[in-house]
Amino acid sequence: MEQRQLGTTGLKVTPLGLGLAEISRQDNMGTDVSQAARVLNEALDNGINFLDTAACYGATEELIGKTVSHRRDEYVLATKAGHAVADAPGKSWTRETVEHSIDRSLRRLQTDHVDIVQLHSCGVDVLEQGDVIDALIRAREAGKTRFASFSGDNEAAKWAIESGIFASLQTSYNLVDQHARTKGLFDMAQKAGMGVIIKRPVANGVWWRNESPYPYADEYFRRSQIMRDAGPFEHEVDDNVLMVTGFTLAEPAVTTIITGTHNPDHLKSNIDMVTTGLPISNEPVAELHRRFEDVEDDWRQLT
């Protein structure tokens, strides 16, 4: 699979990354090590080299450690810190919580360092306070992470870019959530030399559904209905999954997208699609740009 430079970090990552949040949502995945091993090894065996997890994604860090820590040199490893989980010493978004979270992640991942630690969707108030950023920088200086990064949206993402502190940005972008493009966030990140990691790249699958698949996808589903009701598409791609994935990866600022699945067959299908079915043509991408701009009503990024 193709590899792309992640900003100015020197890291090379595949355009399709594996997000571990979906594994954490499955009832048995906290204890079913064999299923996690299938998914993670299938990803690595087929060329995916970017794994994205978080301290608050259930047992996923531990599952990575148990199943693929012996293959550590084959993947770029990103996690997130800031939320008070498990035996955290206090509340979210304190220096102590971030420090504890990073050390806990290293133990669970069975590694002496991660490549990227991202502050996990905090607000501008937390960033301006500064202590969690100091904790992240100290972790980098101690060799616990190679790069300090930010995961978030809207004003907080803009603050993070303008600060010059962070090496990469993880943010929301898809065909019904184009704020990062229309409001200049991508342009800012590129000028700052930041790699861009996309979460929710297929908009939770709302484009091809008749109802919202999850409560947290209700707003995306509402937007998709508005975009579809605005009239027939002239250049719609027959394969919906290919279209929404191709749309997101067509954005020049995007380095990698993180998609999650607990199903090895779905994972293999995604890999085949990215390696053989992309890119899609410019026409559907341009049409989706126009359709979004015509109907959106201050549709901010969803976190």
What CATH number did the domain enclosing 67 receive?
3.20.20.100
pLDDT band at 270 (very low <50, low <70, confident <90, very high): very high
188 within domain boundaries: yes
258 within domain boundaries: yes
| Backbone φ, ψ for residue 110 (5° rounding) | 55, 50
Domain count for the chain, please give it.
1
Q: Indicate the pTM of the whole model.
A: 0.95
The reported pLDDT for the residue numbered 103 is: 96
Bridge partners of 147?
Answer: 116
Distance between CA 292 and CA 57 in Å, rounded? 31
301 within domain boundaries: no
303 within domain boundaries: no
**Single-letter code of the amino acid located at 239:** D
13 within domain boundaries: yes
| Percentage of the chain exceeding pLDDT 90 | 86
Contact 60, 77 (CB under 8 A): no
Distance between CA 218 and CA 216 in Å, rounded? 6
Residues 6+ apart with CB under 8 A from 106: 112, 113, 114, 144
200 within domain boundaries: yes
> For residue 150, what are the domain limits?
4-295
30 within domain boundaries: yes
302 within domain boundaries: no
Residue 136 has pLDDT above 80, yes or no: yes
Query: Among 19-23, 147-151, 197-201, 289-293, whose mean pLDDT is lowest?
Result: 19-23
pLDDT band at 127 (very low <50, low <70, confident <90, very high): very high
| Backbone φ, ψ for residue 87 (5° rounding) | -95, 30
Query: Among 5-19, 52-66, 169-183, whose mean pLDDT is lowest?
Result: 52-66
The reported pLDDT for the residue numbered 228 is: 95
